[in-house]
Amino acid sequence: ETGVTQSPTHLIKTRGQQVTLRCSSQSGHNTVSWYQQALGQGPQFIFQYYREEENGRGNFPPRFSGLQFPNYSSELNVNALELDDSALYLCASSDGGDSPLHFGNGTRLTVT
Amino acid sequence: KQEVTQIPAALSVPEGENLVLNCSFTDSAIYNLQWFRQDPGKGLTSLLLIQSSQREQTSGRLNASLDKSSGRSTLYIAASQPGDSATYLCAADLTGGFKTIFGAGTRLFVKA
């Protein structure tokens, strides 16, 4: 059973650019969530996808968008990058309901 | 608005000590509560998940309890080891499971 994998592991972008982060869910999981974790803080919920539809969103602006594909892999897109977007971006998958979240190792994004 | 608070923010103990980490949440209408471990620069590893109808869960040296009426959960670690050194995060799933709110974590250091 493969776990959650994220790519790339590290990324450096310039303010104003756009970035796409990728996540492969754990086998059999149909729900994926994205989180932003600033240094020294807990993860903040960005949004969740279930069977290719967004079904929950946190307090993030529309320049944060996502996709979930038929194989349940997912992308997080961030447009017009700002310095404060520098963080660890975590993807988590589950098979919904009351099952635990399984996290990937994250993508460390640095915006300069 | 659901808020999750963890106390203490950091803890240093000698090897072999039993310890308790605390988590409090403001809204008792939670779906479940999950405890995670995070090693530096890494993703989160699920430790224990307690359903809203349950009072506690145990796994090895770990025991987590949930008291919805008082808005509190505790993680008990028995006979701590240096390998337990990490940040421990609790997360409350809001009713419906569409949004997970994390605390800022407790950084634990176990001295050999």
Tens of pLDDT along chain B (112 residues) come to 788 999 999 999 999 999 999 999 988 888 889 999 999 888 899 999 998 889 999 999 999 999 999 999 999 999 999 999 999 999 998 765 567 899 999 999 999 9
**Average pLDDT score over residue span A6-20:** 97
Residue A1 clears pLDDT 60, i.e. is over it: no
- Minimal Cα distance from A43: which residue of B? B102
Dump pLDDT digits (tens) for A33-70: 999 999 989 999 999 998 899 988 989 999 999 999 99
Q: What is the DSSP string of B43-82?
A: -EEEEEEEETT-SEEEETTEEEEEETTTTEEEEEE-S--G
Residue A97 confidence class, pLDDT cut points 50, 70, 90: low
**Partner A contacted by B103 (CB < 8 A):** yes
> Which chain B residues touch A48 with a CB distance below 8 Å?
98-99
Dump pLDDT digits (tens) for A64-92: 999 999 988 999 999 999 999 999 999 99
Residue A10 one-letter amino acid: H
Q: Cα dist. A39→A36, A42, A44, B23, B105 in Å?
A: 10, 8, 12, 20, 11
How many alpha carbons lie under 13 Å from residue A48 in its C-beta half-sphere?
A: 23
Asked if A13 contacts A109 with a C-beta cutoff of 8 angstroms, the reply is yes
Chain B 37-96, residues with CB within 8 Å of chain A CB atoms: 41-46, 49, 51, 89, 91
Q: How far apart are the first and last CA of chain A?
A: 37
Q: What is the reported pLDDT for B28? A: 80
> Which chain B residues touch A96 with a CB distance below 8 Å?
97
- Give the angle subtended at the CA of A86 by the CAs of A30 and B5, to the nearest 5°: 70
Residue A18 confidence class, pLDDT cut points 50, 70, 90: very high
**Average pLDDT score over residue span A22-41:** 91
Q: What is the reported pLDDT for A75? A: 97
Q: What is the reported pLDDT for B98? A: 64
Q: What is the reported pLDDT for B62? A: 98
Residue A24 clears pLDDT 70, i.e. is over it: yes
Q: Cα dist. A83→A6, A109, B7, B48 in Å?
A: 22, 10, 30, 35
**Partner A contacted by B97 (CB < 8 A):** yes
> Which chain A residues touch B49 with a CB distance below 8 Å?
98-100
Q: What is the reported pLDDT for A44? A: 94
Distance from CA of A54 to the nearest CA of B (A): 10
Q: What is the reported pLDDT for A33? A: 93
Residue A2 clears pLDDT 80, i.e. is over it: no
Say whether B44 and A48 touch across the interface (CB within 8 A): no
- Length of chain A equals 112
* Three-state SS at A70: coil
Asked if B104 contacts B6 with a C-beta cutoff of 8 angstroms, the reply is yes
Q: What is the reported pLDDT for B52? A: 87
**Partner A contacted by B106 (CB < 8 A):** no
Q: What is the reported pLDDT for B27? A: 83
> Which chain B residues touch A93 with a CB distance below 8 Å?
none
